[in-house]
Structure 1
Amino acid sequence: MIITVTPNPSLDRTYEVPALDRGEVLRATGERVDPGGKGVNVSRAVAAAGFRTTAVLPLGGAAGTLLAELLTAEGVDVTAVSIVGRTRSNISIAEPDGTLTKLNAPGPELTREETALLLDTVGACAGDAAWIACCGSLPPGLGPAWYAELVDRAHASGARIALDTSGPALPAALRARPEVIKPNAQELAEAVGRPLATLGDAVKAAEELRSLGAGAVLASLGGDGQLLASAEGTYYGTAPVAPDRVRSNVGAGDAALAGFLIAGGAGPDALASALSHGAAAVQLPGSAMPTPSDLRPEAVRITRDLPLDLLLSAGPGKAAGTA
């Protein structure tokens, strides 16, 4: 059982257009409506892989109701915390070359009572979990230390934590010592306060975050692959995707985290699973999650002999590889 916690979920609409021309009337060639939010996508990917998962979500309004219905239809168990506010709706515009433009709403502000109920709900579910993935941005009303409190409560129940967030919430949560954190290249650079030009820079940054409390760092480096730094060793892997095969990188990092966790959450085999899931996800429309038939594990390459001078070319905004 993998439980996910998404404090700021969304209903995501993705439109595919021939080109994004500002100020013009655009006619979409494709449209999707998907459940959204990092943890939501992790649950969707876990369910698509055939494993059990529960998504713990604060939900409100018509968008929240539809989000829960869509998740249930995908085989995800939903544990909803009812809120007074309305679940947000986001819009993504995808161009043929993989360029993605996103409009993300801030989300509803949670009351003190709703915040407490969300924490209590996670605590009540934690005993059955192999992993709890705590993912995404914090909505208005939740301070940066909220994830740290969540990690502390989950640890008290014996659960292992995978954390995927950014901004002040990431360093604040490190004191609670999550087992795994999953930044992308930009979030990794932001967390250490300096640019990362090479794979060697990324390795140093990952080790710095480990020294601050992260058990392991699974870093998505866009088209340059993924990095895993842990007590067992540091590994680097790639799963190249041809540019003409890229459709959308929405949720690709979430699919990668799901692949990592369902493969045990540690070591090169889990990294290979993460790479395979991330590469499959970027070849699907919108935020569709890959099924086992979409995976191409033979394309994955893992090494402990890291090319530390490798220039990092594809940042998190590039829809290539396994961002």
Structure 2
Amino acid sequence: MIVTLTANPSLDRTVTLPAPLQPGEVQAAQSAREDAGGKGINVARAIVAAGAACTAVLPLAADDPFDTALRGSGLDAHRVPVAGHVRANLAITDPAGITTKLNLPGARLSPDEISAVVDATVTASAGADWLVLAGSLPPGVPDDFYVRVIGAVRAVYGAEAPRIAVDAAGPALAAVVAHGRPDLIKPNDEELGELVGTSLDGADAQTALDVARALVPERVGAALVTLGARGALLVEPDGAWAAVPPPIRVVSTVGAGDSSLAGYVLAQTRGDEPDERLRLAIRYGAAAASLPGTQAPALGDLPDGDVRVTRLS
């Protein structure tokens, strides 16, 4: 069983344009859709679509309209009562797959609400194989929130605690790497570069590996680094592997990294070797990028093309 925590869920609205976005102009949309989103929710939806058990923990008010979309996703959700409502994020995509995103900050959580989210996550993690902590933090939540969650879960379950994966950015990721010692982090190249104070824009897998080796295994157990169209890199204490996605038609890149993490976790829970974990992560990320909005890929959406995995030195 897998548990995800989404501290800052979002109602993801995706607008598809028939032509490139023209700032300052009036354009007619081709289509639009809404999905229950936020990184942890996206991971959970992909896991459930694969037929695996998953519980999604999130703060959610009883009268929040987001709950309609959440129920439509079919997730087993643990809702932590809060006063504020879930934010809405807007993604605009064009025929070339270029995505423009506008993300709102989310509702502020009180100290009591923060503690309730931590307690709910600890409770939900009983007997879990993985706990995935994913996404940005809402206003009022300190940068070390994920560190607090990790400490609370490990304090209760000790050696029986689930493996913990973190998909975050900026100060939240920096705090986790400095103090949380997660089993896995999943930054993209930009987030990894920001973490270590360098630019990885357009960098190849070997360059990203040289940077990630400063973190694995000294600070984190492993790193799954997504590189966009250039594929992904898996770094573990005893090896590193790189892979590129098969050819696809990109529709929306929103949630592709979340699906990659879901693919990795699914492969790990069934005992796959590192190269197969990376291969499934690549397939899930490519499938998500070929679907509209933040639609979670199902097994039938995974591309058939070859995914070459190379072991790096």
TM-score normalized by structure 2? 0.92
Q: Does 1:235 align with 2:241?
A: yes
Q: Distance in 1 between matches of 2:275 and 2:66?
A: 34
CA-CA distance at 1:71 after TM superposition: 2.9
CA-CA distance at 1:296 after TM superposition: 2.5
Match of 1:25 in 2: 26
Secondary structure of the 1:236 match is strand
Q: Does 1:170 align with 2:173?
A: yes
Of 206, 210, 220, which residue of structure 2 is paired with 1:200? 206
Counterparts in 2 of 1:246 and 1:264: CA distance versus 1, 3 Å:
same
Q: Distance in 2 between matches of 1:10 and 1:303?
A: 36
Q: Distance in 1 between matches of 2:303 and 2:102?
A: 31
Q: Distance in 1 between matches of 2:93 and 2:35?
A: 14
The one-letter amino acid of 1:285's match is P
Q: Does 1:261 align with 2:292?
A: no
CA-CA distance at 1:246 after TM superposition: 0.7
Q: Distance in 1 between matches of 2:312 and 2:182?
A: 27
Is the Cα contact below 8 Å between 2:92 and 2:100 reproduced in 1?
yes
Match of 1:108 in 2: 107
CA-CA distance at 1:134 after TM superposition: 0.1
Secondary structure of the 2:268 match is coil
The one-letter amino acid of 2:303's match is R
Q: Distance in 1 between matches of 2:76 and 2:68?
A: 10
Secondary structure of the 1:263 match is helix
User: 1:70-113 deviations in whole A, cap 9, x for unaligned?
Assistant: 23333211111111112101111111111111111011110000
The one-letter amino acid of 1:105's match is L
Q: Distance in 2 between matches of 1:11 and 1:182?
A: 23
Is the Cα contact below 8 Å between 2:217 and 2:237 reproduced in 1?
no
Of 272, 275, 279, which residue of structure 2 is paired with 1:272? 279
Is the Cα contact below 8 Å between 2:47 and 2:53 reproduced in 1?
yes
Match of 1:312 in 2: none
User: 1:35-86 deviations in whole A, cap 9, x for unaligned?
Assistant: 1111010001111111111110011375xx3433323333211111111112
CA-CA distance at 1:212 after TM superposition: 4.5
The one-letter amino acid of 2:67's match is A
The one-letter amino acid of 2:167's match is D
CA-CA distance at 1:241 after TM superposition: 2.6
TM-score normalized by structure 1? 0.90
Match of 1:251 in 2: 255
The one-letter amino acid of 1:12's match is D
Match of 2:291 in 1: 284
User: 1:224-278 deviations in whole A, cap 9, x for unaligned?
Assistant: 1100000231011111334xx1100000000010000011166111111101101
Q: Does 1:15 align with 2:15?
A: yes
Secondary structure of the 2:29 match is coil
Q: Distance in 1 between matches of 2:54 and 2:166?
A: 16
Q: Does 1:296 align with 2:303?
A: yes
Is the Cα contact below 8 Å between 2:206 and 2:312 reproduced in 1?
no
Match of 1:154 in 2: 153
Is the Cα contact below 8 Å between 2:91 and 2:101 reproduced in 1?
yes
Is the Cα contact below 8 Å between 2:62 and 2:81 reproduced in 1?
no
Q: Distance in 2 between matches of 1:119 and 1:10?
A: 19
Counterparts in 2 of 1:297 and 1:205: CA distance versus 1, 3 Å:
farther
The one-letter amino acid of 1:134's match is L
Unaligned runs of 5+ in 2: none
Of 182, 189, 195, which residue of structure 2 is paired with 1:185? 189
Percent of matched pairs sharing the same residue:
42
Q: Distance in 2 between matches of 1:61 and 1:26?
A: 36
User: 1:102-128 deviations in whole A, cap 9, x for unaligned?
Assistant: 111011110000000000000111113
User: 1:201-242 deviations in whole A, cap 9, x for unaligned?
Assistant: 200111112254210000000111100000231011111334
Is the Cα contact below 8 Å between 1:61 and 1:86 reproduced in 2?
no
User: 1:166-204 deviations in whole A, cap 9, x for unaligned?
Assistant: 101112112221000000010010011011233322001
Secondary structure of the 2:216 match is helix
Q: Distance in 1 between matches of 2:106 and 2:73?
A: 24
Is the Cα contact below 8 Å between 1:215 and 1:231 reproduced in 2?
yes
Is the Cα contact below 8 Å between 1:52 and 1:76 reproduced in 2?
no
Secondary structure of the 2:77 match is strand
CA-CA distance at 1:289 after TM superposition: 1.1
Q: Distance in 2 between matches of 1:173 and 1:246?
A: 32
Is the Cα contact below 8 Å between 1:154 and 1:161 reproduced in 2?
no
Secondary structure of the 1:254 match is helix
CA-CA distance at 1:25 after TM superposition: 1.8
Secondary structure of the 2:115 match is helix
CA-CA distance at 1:300 after TM superposition: 1.1
